A = this chain, B = another copy of it.
Amino acid sequence: MKKLTCITVASILMGIAALPAAARGPVVNHAISEAEVLAAQQAWCKALVDISSTNTSSGPAAAKALAEKVIDEAYGYQMGAVLFKPTLAMAPQAFRTSREGALAYFVGGDPAYPKDTGFALKGWTKCEIANAGIFIAGGSASTMGNVIFTGKDGKVTSVDKTWSFVKDDAGKLRIVVHHSSLPYTGN
């Protein structure tokens, strides 16, 4: 960080407006911008497709390692818990507030979560986002809308998804709420 350049009587007489912006001291800005939110959504989509393609090209161990990295970088489990309701998780394990539960959902293979088959291993080739709304206030940002997945067979699946993000100390957005569900169809 640069040292502060303070005004002196001389600089006052010379006119404060003449001070270059750089002389006005550091700006720490941890506010959440809409652009950051949109980027975090895109990063989630890209990570899902990456895990799928890693599974295809390098096998499930590599996919699992990537999924762990993604969870540690994109979610807020290190804050204590995340409110995560994955699309296809079933009671009595519908809510995955622990990192272990999230990992099991994405890549399966955890005997503690016997119904999980690995959502991220299903061969997704595309992931797109259509927001119905964004709400940023008080240090957190939430989005709601559809996320549309394209499978290896070209089949399209649309889910209803809510995310809430907060910033960590490093200024990085982290998912602290994630509720995903299949659309209600009346049946």
**Cα distance, A43 to B17, chains bound together (Å):** 16
Q: Determine the chain B residues whose CB is within 8 A of the CB of A144 once the complex forms.
A: 83-85, 95, 97, 177, 179
Which of A48-56, A66-74, A127-135 contacts the other chain?
Answer: A127-135
Q: In the assembly, what is the distance between CA of A133 and CA of B5, in Å?
A: 10
Chain A interface bracket (under 10, 10 to 19, 20 to 34, 35 or more):
35 or more
From 83 to 105 in chain A, residues with beta carbon under 8 angstroms from any chain B beta carbon are 83-85, 87-101
1-47 of chain A: CB within 8 A of chain B: 1-9, 12-13, 16-17, 19, 24-34
A101 x B3 contact (CB < 8 A): yes
Q: Is the CB of A140 within 8 A of B143?
A: no
- Please tell me if the beta carbons of B166 and A137 are within 8 angstroms of each other in the complex: yes
Q: A5-B92, A160-B181 are in contact. List 19 more A-B contacts (CB 8 A).
A: A4-B132, A7-B92, A7-B148, A24-B145, A25-B134, A79-B137, A84-B144, A88-B186, A90-B185, A90-B186, A91-B183, A137-B140, A137-B176, A138-B139, A139-B140, A140-B140, A168-B169, A177-B177, A181-B182
Q: Could you list some 8 contacts between A and B, CB below 8 A? A: A1-B99, A3-B101, A4-B97, A4-B133, A24-B131, A27-B133, A28-B133, A83-B144
